[in-house]
Amino acid sequence: MKVIQSTTFQAFHRSVVMVMQAAPRELRYVTILTLFAGAIPSVVVWLNKLIIDDITKILSTQTVENPIYLVTFHSSLLYSIAILLLLNLFADSVGTITSFVFANESR
């Protein structure tokens, strides 16, 4: 058996091609889940910024005795909080699904 000398890029390319041939569907799922898992924290930080900006803008113009009223009266704040909660739930489920997919691939 002859050892083939290749660059790092060539070895990576050969590895990706072999994985694509062996398990194309699983590679696609893992790639999509990894992209979602990587993008969600950036969106969460941006939504946290929107929520903090809205709250500081509201509190700088008026005083609020009832915080529930503050959230329900300003729809953009309510929607931002709801989307943030859903994204956090989705991020947790993506982590669980990814670990489940990796666990089943080893079988």
Domain-by-domain residue ranges, the chain? 24-105
Give mean pLDDT, residues 4-21. Answer: 87
- Statement: residue 100 has pLDDT above 70: yes
* CA distance linking residue 70 with residue 87, whole number of Å: 22
pTM: 0.65
User: Residues 78, 81, 51, CA angle at the centre, nearest 5°?
Assistant: 90
CB atoms inside a 10 Å sphere around CB 25: 7
Residue 107: what pLDDT?
54
